[in-house]
Structure 1
């Protein structure tokens, strides 16, 4: 009898251990994110995981157009954050994305070491932009140059970078004279500075969207999706220089804040 009791006791302990491990099993979310979100998103994930101990968020950073291609060709990603409305709309059209929202807005600047008063002053210098085949920032850059009637003159001096972060590094490492980058990328520059702020009317609005991939609508993914652009994540995005959009009515939170300060 004692032997049977001991065996039953061991079996019970074993099952309790297995059940305990099952309860502690963490859910993993894989997010594909535009490279320009790196600093802000890493901090947001930290905050999210502090209050969601059972969820691990892995992030794969890359150029938005490469992430779009990855999603179209089948991917392990659960959620996407892109810096191009066009790319997100294409994924929605192909029913790759089941739910999406616009959360951020950015702007373009020219980075370098010498201040300029007009865009024409970059003529004759080496200029880095993101490769438009992969990077929305490159598409915006060419749009700016064409709208300014400068593209044909500057085209021979353009240096293509894989993405906007690489274009920023080119100018920061003295490999080019100027670079067209998102304003938020200036936060991580060490040697270069903002030498010219590009008027928004010269390019399409730079809207960042996040979307859940079809078939990936788990509670964990929806929880992180909801967290983006809300609460503490909003403050982090603002700190990194983004304009935060209210997904309910597209109101720019930063503009509202500034109006409140003037009163």
Structure 2
């Protein structure tokens, strides 16, 4: 009986030591960050021993989940609007909020299409170009990429003819997938999405002045974050992380030093 008791006690101590050694950090992040952030999380896990759990969706969905009490540690939004909303709902640590990244908006089509470039101005006949298909975008009612797309199309005098031809997706990656599957002839996505997509090519870049700057803010959600959450937050702002973000097509605000593990 004593051997059994000591065995159970040792097992309990082992489980406790593992729990202490490996802390879990839950990160809510915009879908367009999937590839870059997944690579960074893996690198950070290898170096720190912490467990980084990533939850990707549209920025609006994640902000609303935070407002409803979802227990995330970090939030990365694809625009400032939904970070503002999270701040208004008092579900982020506003002092930790920083503008981390920037992106570009592009028009894409399937690699097999004969068109190689599109002139983005009021003379573009969208209906003729689509040939009965649709223009895939993140839903402009709540998805940041779709909000930027609406701003850009409006600025270029194209929104009125584009609106009834939209295929509205729940996030930017879903819009990209419609083009990859040839379920939509054209799509408006981020430059970073086009860069990692299969069988998709960029046929136009939207003028940066045609929409609000595409800014990705990051913030901790807790007023007193765990050591692991603080560590990953700090890591995302290092020069090492900046190299990864840039490789995936993001532009990065001034990075700082390294993180000690």
Normalised by the length of structure 1, the TM-score is: 0.85
Consecutive unaligned residues in structure 1, runs of 5 or more: 1-5, 249-263
In 2: Cα distance, 1:216 partner to 1:231 partner: 25
Q: Does 1:70 find its partner at 2:73?
A: no
Q: In the alignment, is residue 118 of structure 1 matched against residue 119 of structure 2?
A: yes
When the two structures are superposed, what TM-score results if normalisation uses the length of structure 2? 0.86
| 1:140 equivalent in structure 2 | 148
Matched residue SS, 2:220: strand
- 1:233 offset after TM fit, Å? 1.5
1:192 aligned to which of 192, 200, 203: 200
Residue 175 (structure 1) aligns with:
183
1:239 partnered with 2:247: yes
**Larger deviation: 221-230 or 84-93?**
84-93
Root-mean-square deviation (CA), in Å?
2.0
Taking the TM superposition and a 5 Å limit, the aligned residue runs for 1:1-263 are 7=2, 15-25=9-19, 26-53=22-49, 55-98=50-93, 99-112=96-109, 113=113, 114-120=115-121, 121=124, 123-124=126-127, 125=130, 126-215=134-223, 217-246=225-254
Helix, strand or coil for the counterpart of 2:97?
strand
Distance of aligned partners of 1:135 and 1:216 in 2 relative to their CA distance in 1, 3 Å threshold: farther
Q: 1:219 to 1:196 in 2, by over 3 A?
A: same
Please say if residues 65 and 133 of structure 1, whose CA atoms lie closer than 8 Å, have aligned partners that are also in contact: no
Are the counterparts in 1 of residues 196 and 248 from structure 2 also a CA contact under 8 Å?
Answer: no
Taking a change above 3 Å as real, the CA distance of residues 17 and 89 of structure 1, as seen in their structure-2 partners, is same
Summarize deviations over 1:155-198 as a string: whole Å, max 9, x none: 22111111111111111211112111000001222222000011
In terms of Rg, which structure is larger?
A: 1
**Cα displacement (A) at 1:13:** 6.2
Deviation at 1:100, TM superposition (A): 1.5
Structure 2 CA distance, aligned partners of 1:189 and 1:220? 32
